[in-house]
């Protein structure tokens, strides 16, 4: 763990990013692909995805048991996660309910674990300097890590959505659905909206993914980075609940998360959706560039 | 950072942090400047008199439109959500609403009286309307299509149905048209209608420049009370220059500060809305409440929305309420400074500092004192409860004076009534 080594690694990285012809040749998806395989082969990742897949199954079974006596879900009072009242009539609503149930905590927590682990985990395991010895460059490694994390966002969301759809199809009838505006749309369009919602939910996680990556560049301990990211998530979620803080709430990354439900209005109400996507983009830009500033200037000692 | 690293390298590393800082700066500037830039530039429109503008509104014959309305209401009541219902003589409007159907239009529209809400409206001709209240991940819609009136609450998957529009007319159907159900103002148009009705000797009306609302050029009509003692500072109505449709309504209190009611279109479209907008079939499994069931229940709770109304509605509303069981109600004065006088049941005043009754624990006493101001006058003594718009004086002998007037005006009225 000598200083010379770190400097050497740093020099290699700088040299690689400066030598553009060399860089062009190796600017393939090889690194990304190997990162992806490494990440998704980890037991930790598989366990996270299994937990996420369990949520819609549990919700579906719970609603089925609860309503088997003929009573409406959620006691008719509108409690519980969004859309839960409609599940018994249309299994497709289980997709929306599951996403609404997992988005506030399960999904971002899983993303926080993956993002927090991205750089700090490598440093912790002592593999980061080997990654940097390869003439890939720090910027590129960081981009690869971020792309991997975002892929995880998408995969995690789709796992929830697909499991929910399968569970919903098994336990409940499918068919035309009524939007929350009271108009009726066909099942095909319903599926399209479900897919759109899944994409929006995945995009909603971009902000916390960038935040987690930045935290990950700050420390050499994977656990510390994950805990910090998840801690930040919980803090932000709590801040978002305190009415006295309404002035800052529109700028919290989780504030517009549930706006994905606006896709179920007819016509779609875009205002909050666009605000959410813009905010996620802003977080990605700020913390992505902060992570870049930190990581490219950092002494790699492990 | 290693101590032997050159200073310039260190500086170069530090400069990288300029990037995220710059991104934050640009974002902050954009957030701060874009609304300001979009707001600038009041459109140049030909001069017009108040009379002409009001005629324009009256002549306006827009049959087809759709749009998004934002309503912010800040009456200065404690923001305890459904608590507002508890202030009313009907008692327990909020808890009661749950017992029936959450899709009951009346109980739902009451919620509009506090906070900020986004509404969507659509109209096509005189018999097809839709009004939706956008909640988080849910929506509440009132749909009027021909002789069918539906209300649908997507959060609880409950629907309310009335067959005959004439019977349901005073409740939900005509809502987007102008005659509000029990005076809850929802669209700028009906708010404006109310104001114009109330105008008379007591009111000054003028045209105060132009503005842009929802991307359309509009005239600003300023309505001000002439009488002293009103808590209403002024009402501004922005009227679309082309169609004469009121697009924005702002009520500012005399005391200054944020508007008490601010309702305006954020988006408006004068083309024909899609026909499917007005189609509604209750989803499978939805609990449908028929209108007649509700009507019977509502009769006993008729006056439950009274105090949250616009001040100019007060006398009318109070008169409505009279039918609902309050026989001892009188209206003092006229126009903006009307004051309602009524007797509390039992003839007992609220326990105040002046009449500390033995059965009130000191904590409760303190709480009451904190809520209102103790006043004395020729009438005796009492407590004034204030909101930003409506003040109420509860005397120790069990009389209540309420109106959109200042504290002094209330005391004067109480003295005069003695």
**Interface predicted TM-score of the whole assembly (ipTM), two decimals:** 0.73
Which of B108, B154, B276 is most worth mutating to test chain A (most A CB atoms within 10 A of its CB)? Answer: B154
Owner of token pair 């990037």: B19
Please report, for chain B, the start and end positions of each structural domain, with discontinuous segments joined by +: 7-39, 50-301, 310-417
Q: Is B277 close to A266, i.e. CB distance below 8 A? A: yes
The CATH homologous superfamily to which domain B50-301 belongs is Lipoprotein localisation LolA/LolB/LppX (2.50.20.10)
- For chain A, say whether B79 makes contact (Cβ under 8 Å): yes
Across the A:B interface, residue pairs with CB atoms under 8 Å apart total 120
Cβ neighbors of A70 (< 8 A, separation 6 or more) are none
What is the 3-state composition of chain B as percent helix, strand, coil, each rounded to the nearest 5? 35, 30, 35
Q: Is A182 close to B141, i.e. CB distance below 8 A? A: yes
Supply the pLDDT for residue B384. 85
Q: Yes or no: say if B102 and B155 are a contact pair by the CB < 8 Å rule.
A: yes
pLDDT < 70 stretches in chain B: 1-10, 36-41, 76-110, 164-201, 292-328, 345-370, 418
- For chain A, say whether B28 makes contact (Cβ under 8 Å): no
Which of B285, B286, B289 is most worth mutating to test chain A (most A CB atoms within 10 A of its CB)? Answer: B285
Q: Is B283 close to A90, i.e. CB distance below 8 A? A: yes
DSSP B354: G
Supply the pLDDT for residue B109. 64
Q: Yes or no: say if B183 and B310 are a contact pair by the CB < 8 Å rule.
A: yes
Which of A95, A181, A261, A263 is most worth mutating to test chain B (most B CB atoms within 10 A of its CB)? Answer: A181
Supply the pLDDT for residue B215. 82
Write down the pTM of the prediction.
Answer: 0.74
Supply the pLDDT for residue B100. 47
CATH fold label, B310-417: TATA-Binding Protein (3.30.310)
DSSP helix/strand/coil, A284: helix
Instruction: Note down pLDDT in tens along chain A; length 302 residues.
Output: 444 444 444 444 444 444 445 455 455 678 888 888 988 999 999 999 999 999 999 999 998 888 776 555 444 444 567 788 788 888 899 999 999 999 989 999 999 999 998 999 888 888 888 888 877 788 888 999 999 999 999 999 999 999 999 999 999 988 888 888 888 888 999 999 999 999 999 999 999 999 999 999 998 888 999 999 999 999 999 999 988 888 888 899 999 998 998 998 888 888 889 999 999 999 999 999 999 999 988 877 76
Identify the closest residue of chain A to B278 by CA–CA distance.
A183
**Closest to B254 measured CA to CA, from B198, B311, B211, B339:** B311
Which chain A residues are closer than 8 Å to B28 by Cβ?
Answer: none
Total number of residues shown for chain B: 418
- For chain A, say whether B196 makes contact (Cβ under 8 Å): no
- For chain B, say whether A100 makes contact (Cβ under 8 Å): yes
Measured CA distances, B367 to A243, B146, B371, B398 (Å): 23, 52, 6, 19
Cβ neighbors of B302 (< 8 A, separation 6 or more) are B90, B320, B321, B323, B324
- For chain B, say whether A8 makes contact (Cβ under 8 Å): no
Q: Is A265 close to B277, i.e. CB distance below 8 A? A: no
- For chain A, say whether B132 makes contact (Cβ under 8 Å): yes
> pLDDT per residue over B31-59, tens digit each?
877 776 666 567 788 888 777 787 778 77
B285–chain A nearest CA distance, Å: 6
Identify the closest residue of chain A to B2 by CA–CA distance.
A3
Q: Is A184 close to B143, i.e. CB distance below 8 A? A: no
Structure tokens at A227: 């805990």
Supply the pLDDT for residue B405. 84
Q: Is A180 close to B120, i.e. CB distance below 8 A? A: no
Please name the member of B16, B23, B143 whose beta carbon is closest to the beta carbon of A296. B16
Owner of token pair 């994905």: A260
Which of B155, B160, B280 is most worth mutating to test chain A (most A CB atoms within 10 A of its CB)? Answer: B155
Which chain A residues are closer than 8 Å to B68 by Cβ?
Answer: 269, 271
């Amino acid at each position: 763990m000598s200083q010379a080594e770190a400097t050497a690694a740093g020099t290699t990285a700088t040299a690689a990013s400066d030598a553009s012809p060399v860089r062009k040749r190796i600017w393939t998806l090889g690194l990304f692909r190997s990162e992806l395989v490494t990440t998704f082969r980890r037991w930790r990742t598989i366990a996270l995805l299994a937990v996420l897949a369990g949520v819609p199954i549990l919700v579906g079974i719970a609603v089925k048991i609860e309503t088997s006596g003929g009573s409406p879900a959620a006691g008719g009072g509108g409690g519980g996660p969004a859309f839960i009242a409609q599940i018994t009539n249309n299994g497709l609503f289980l997709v929306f309910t599951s996403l609404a149930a997992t988005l506030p905590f399960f999904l971002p927590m899983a993303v926080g674990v993956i993002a927090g682990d991205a750089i700090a985990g490598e440093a912790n395991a002592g593999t980061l300097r080997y990654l940097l010895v390869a003439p890939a460059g720090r910027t590129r490694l960081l981009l690869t890590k971020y792309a991997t994390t975002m892929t995880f966002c998408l995969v995690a969301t789709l796992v929830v959505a697909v499991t929910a759809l399968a569970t919903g199809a098994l336990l409940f009838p499918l068919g035309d659905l009524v939007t929350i505006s009271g108009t009726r749309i066909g099942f095909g369009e319903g599926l399209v909206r479900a897919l759109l919602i899944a994409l929006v939910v995945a995009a909603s996680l971009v902000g916390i993914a960038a935040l987690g990556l930045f935290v990950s560049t700050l420390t050499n301990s994977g656990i510390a980075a994950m805990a910090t990211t998840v801690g930040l998530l919980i803090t932000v979620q709590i801040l978002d609940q305190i009415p006295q803080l309404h002035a800052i709430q529109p700028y919290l990354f989780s504030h517009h998360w549930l706006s994905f439900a606006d896709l179920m209005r007819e016509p779609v109400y875009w205002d909050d959706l666009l605000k959410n996507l813009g905010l996620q983009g802003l977080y990605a830009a700020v913390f992505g560039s902060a992570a870049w500033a930190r990581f490219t200037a950092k002494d790699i000692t492990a | 950072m290693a101590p032997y690293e050159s200073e310039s390298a260190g500086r170069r590393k530090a400069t990288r942090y300029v990037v995220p800082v710059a991104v934050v700066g640009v974002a902050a500037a954009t957030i701060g400047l874009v609304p300001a830039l979009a707001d600038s530039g009041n459109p140049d429109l030909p001069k017009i008199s108040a009379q002409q503008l009001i005629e324009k509104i009256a002549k306006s014959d827009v049959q087809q439109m759709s749009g998004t309305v934002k309503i912010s209401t800040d009456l200065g009541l404690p923001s305890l959500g459904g608590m507002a219902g508890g202030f009313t003589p009907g008692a327990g409007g909020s808890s009661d609403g749950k017992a029936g159907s959450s899709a009951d239009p009346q109980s739902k529209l009451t919620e509009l009286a506090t906070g900020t809400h986004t509404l969507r409206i659509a109209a096509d001709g005189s018999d097809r309307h839709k009004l939706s209240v956008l909640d988080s991940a849910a929506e509440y819609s009132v749909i009027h299509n021909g002789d069918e009136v539906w209300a649908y609450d997507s959060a609880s998957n409950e629907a309310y149905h009335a067959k005959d529009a004439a019977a349901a007319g005073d409740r939900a159907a005509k809502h987007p048209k102008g005659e509000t159900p029990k005076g809850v103002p929802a669209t700028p148009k009906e708010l404006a209608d109310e104001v114009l009705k109330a105008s008379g000797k007591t009111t000054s009306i003028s045209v105060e420049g132009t503005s842009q609302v929802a991307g359309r050029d509009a005239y600003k009509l300023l309505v001000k009370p002439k009488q002293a003692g009103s808590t209403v500072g002024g009402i501004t109505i922005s009227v679309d220059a082309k169609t004469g449709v009121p697009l924005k309504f702002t009520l500012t209190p005399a005391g200054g500060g944020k508007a008490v009611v601010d309702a305006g279109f954020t988006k408006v479209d004068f083309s024909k809305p899609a026909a499917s907008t007005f189609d509604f079939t209750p989803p499978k499994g939805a609990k449908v409440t028929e209108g007649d069931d509700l009507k019977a229940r509502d009769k006993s709770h008729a006056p439950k929305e009274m105090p949250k109304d616009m001040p100019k509605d007060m006398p009318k509303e109070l008169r409505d309420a009279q039918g609902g069981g309050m026989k001892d109600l009188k209206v003092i004065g006229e126009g903006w400074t009307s004051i309602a006088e009524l007797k509390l049941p039992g003839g007992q005043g609220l326990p105040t500092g002046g009449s500390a009754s033995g059965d009130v624990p000191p904590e409760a006493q303190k709480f009451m004192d904190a809520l209102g101001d103790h006043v004395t006058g020729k009438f005796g003594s009492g407590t004034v409860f204030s909101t930003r718009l409506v003040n109420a004086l509860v005397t120790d002998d069990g009389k209540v004076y309420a109106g959109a007037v200042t504290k002094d005006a209330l005391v004067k009225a109480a003295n005069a009534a003695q």
